[in-house]
Structures are given as C-alpha cells and as structure tokens.
Homo-oligomer: A and B are copies of this chain.
Amino acid sequence: MSTSLGAAVRHKMLTNMLLVRQTEERIQELFLENVIRGTTHLCIGQEAVSVAMAEVVDAARGDTVTCTYRGHGHALALGMSLESMMAEMMGKVSGCSKGKGGSMHLADLDVGLLGTFAVVGAGLPVTNGAALTAQMRGTGAISISIFGDGTPNIGAWHEAVNLAAVWKLPAVFLCENNRYGEYTPYEDTAPVPNVADRAAAYGIPSVIVDGQDAEAVYPVLLEAADRARAGDGPTLVEALTYRYRGHSRSDPATYRPEGELERWMERDPINILAGRMQADGQLTAAEFEALREQQRAEVQRVTEWAMNEPWPALEETLEDIWAPSGDDAGVGEGA
C-alpha cells in the first residue's frame, strides 16, 4: 500500500485540515463572545486523523461513523457543510440537528455521520449495529467508531470491541490518543502503555500510527477497512496525537508538563502535510497562505450567516421526539 497520496487527495486533506482549524479557532472566539453557549471540545492539533478517516469513508456505499463530543473535525472532514455545523453550534434552526443537538450532538446521515456521542464509550456499541446492518445486507459497508485514549476504560468500549470481534463485524475502532482524558494523563488511569495493547484481549489486530501525519493514518485505516469488508472483523487503530487546547471550553490545561505543547506543535499536522506538498512541488508558500485565507474567509462568511439565521420556533421544542408510526403518530405529550 502506497503511503504517498496523489496531489488531489493531499490537497483535499490539507484544505479540510485548514477548514477545521479555522472553524474551531473561530468557535472558541464565539464562545468567549457568548455567541455559542454550553460547552465545546476542540480538536485543534488532531486534524490529521479526521481527514485521513474521511478518505476511507464512502457514505454512498453505506459507510458510517460514530465519534465523540470532540467531533467538529470529523463532521467537517466527512463533508457536513460548514453552514450546517456553525448554525448547529449556535442553536439555529438551520443547524444539522435544527439546533437541538449542539456541539456535542452533531449528526448528518447524508455524510454517514450517525452521531457524535457525548457519553464516553456510547458510540462504539452503536457502530457495531451499523456494521451489523452492513454484514446482514452484504453491502460491503463499514462502520468506524472514533474515541479517545480515556475511553477504553469504560465497560461499553469493552463490550463493543468484544462483540465486534466475536461476530467479525465490519467495524474499525479508531482511538485518538491525545494523551489526556479531560485533565488526567493517560498513564494515570490506564494499566498498559498503549491503547493498542488492549487488542490482545479480543484477538484482533492493532496498529499504532503517527496521528499527526494524515498520510500515515490513511493507509492504516484503509487496510483496517479492507479487512473489515473482507469479513475478517475489526481492527483497533491507535493514532498518537495531541490537542492544543484544553479538554473543553473551561479548561486552561495547566496540567501539561512544561514544553509538552510546544513539542507537539512542532509536529503540527497541517505543517507536516503542507511541508511535504511543498517539498514535492505540489504547493507553494503563497498558495498555502491563499488556501488558509480562503478557509478563514469562508469561516467568517458562514459565521456571519449563521448569526443571522433564525432560532427554531418554540413549537419545535417538543417536535422530533417521536417518529410518526402508524396510528399513534405524535404521541406528543405522551406519558
């Protein structure tokens, strides 16, 4: 499997990484400006995983993804429109979930995003179900579940990986090991050095990969996806990465050892890919700046658009709870 991707794919990945980065930087500002409320979890620094993952997913074939509250990058990389996401972040009716979900609950079936799950570990069992549908129907579709390094500690994670292994489901379990679960370093709460070490308990293959290098992550995921499609069951992929910002809006990340952030920033996923493209003559410094500026402008435009979008109507509050179903559609105030 070649690790050097074509120029077009590289360009797309780079563009998407810039889009994610600019979007999240803007989101943080919007939080400080009180335009976005609640909480949010930024993936700045982790963008390579998102764009590599998205290259493997084909929603038209039925591929699906579940991820966590740290899902803006995955959603955008999969192709959720920036409009849809920004409006959702602000609780506007034009958001992907009509403003009802918010930052932690993005979903877009059209791009294969079943949902971003806010309860740790809750997405993996659901990914299994999507993989089960693919297995039953023989569609060749896969389902990817993305989670953090703190997540393997929870029971739902274990049960899901286990069931996928027993049933040889076409699933891929993708860990973004960003070194921390909230404010606690990985090694304080895990008994094994690597998340990948857990795979032995399920008799499934695992791979540790440089999560800052989209071109390293991509072939690993592609192989895992191929294995899944071939009926050989799930793979556990551990991408080593780092979040530049705190866990969530309210976290200044004072727990970082000195210099840690700076060391990781030297291996910035955008710079790595951009640098390689420049070395390969696929991108000039000026083009890179223009691309960045273009994304920045796009984010700016969409932000303003979203700010002017309407709120959902108040009657929306109790809508969408019940699926219409035969006679008893609209059980409404129900119980």
A residues with CB within 8 A of B: 153-159, 162, 165-166, 188-192, 197-198, 200-204
CB atoms of B200 and A191 under 8 A apart: no
A interface, over-half SS: helix
> Could you jot down 16 A-B contacts, CB within 8 Å?
A154-B155, A154-B159, A155-B158, A157-B158, A158-B158, A158-B159, A162-B190, A165-B191, A166-B190, A166-B191, A191-B204, A192-B202, A192-B203, A197-B200, A200-B200, A200-B201
Chain B residues with CB under 8 A of A204: 191
Contacts of A159 in B (CB 8 A): 153-155, 158
Complex contacts, A197 vs chain B, CB 8 Å: 200-201, 203
* CB closest chain-B residue, reference A153: B162
Residues of B within 8 A of A153 (CB): 159, 162
A202-B162 Cα distance, complex, nearest whole Å: 15
Cross-chain contact B203 with A189 (CB below 8 angstroms): no
Nearest neighbor of A155 in chain B, beta-carbon distance: B155
CA–CA, A265 and B330, complex, Å:
61
Residues on B with beta carbons closer than 8 Å to the beta carbon of A203: 191-192, 197
Say how many copies of this protein the assembly contains.
2
A200 to B204, CA, bound (A): 13
Instruction: Name A163's closest neighbour in chain B (CB-CB).
Output: B153
| CB-nearest residue of chain B to A195 | B201
A191 CA / B158 CA spacing, docked (Å): 12
The docked-state distance in angstroms from the alpha carbon of A203 to that of B200 is 11
A113 to chain B, nearest CB (A): 25
Tell me the minimal C-beta distance from A173 to chain B in angstroms.
13
Chain B contacts of A192 at CB under 8 A? 200-203
Given A153-B159, A197-B200, A200-B201, 18 new contacts (CB under 8 A): A153-B162, A154-B155, A154-B159, A155-B155, A155-B157, A155-B158, A158-B158, A158-B159, A162-B190, A162-B191, A166-B188, A166-B189, A192-B201, A192-B202, A192-B203, A197-B201, A197-B203, A198-B201
**Chain B residue nearest in CB terms to A198:** B201
Q: How far is the CA of A188 from the CA of B163 in the complex (A)?
A: 11
Q: When chains A and B are docked, how far (Å) is the Cα of A191 from the Cα of B162?
A: 7
Which residues from B are CB-within-8-Å of A162?
153, 190-191
How distant is the Cα of A156 from the Cα of B154 in the complex, in angstroms?
A: 8
Query: What residue in chain B is nearest A204 (Cβ atoms)?
Result: B191
Chain B residue contacts of A190, Cβ below 8 A = 162, 166
Q: Which 3 A-B pairs have the closest CB atoms?
A: A155-B155, A165-B191, A158-B158
- In the complex, chain B residues whose CB is within 8 Å of the CB of A158: 155, 157-159
The closest CB in chain B to the CB of A188 belongs to B166
A51 to B225, CA, bound (A): 49
Give chain B residues whose Cβ lies under 8 Å from the Cβ of A198: 201
A189 and B162 alpha carbons, distance in the complex (Å): 9
CB distance from A88 to the nearest CB of B (A): 31
Distance in angstroms between the alpha carbons of A259 and B204 in the assembled complex: 33
**Which of chain B's residues have a CB closer than 8 A to the CB of A166?**
188-191
Closest Cβ of chain B: how far from A75's Cβ, in Å?
Answer: 28
Compute how far the CA of A165 lies from the CA of B200 in the bound complex, rounded to whole angstroms: 16
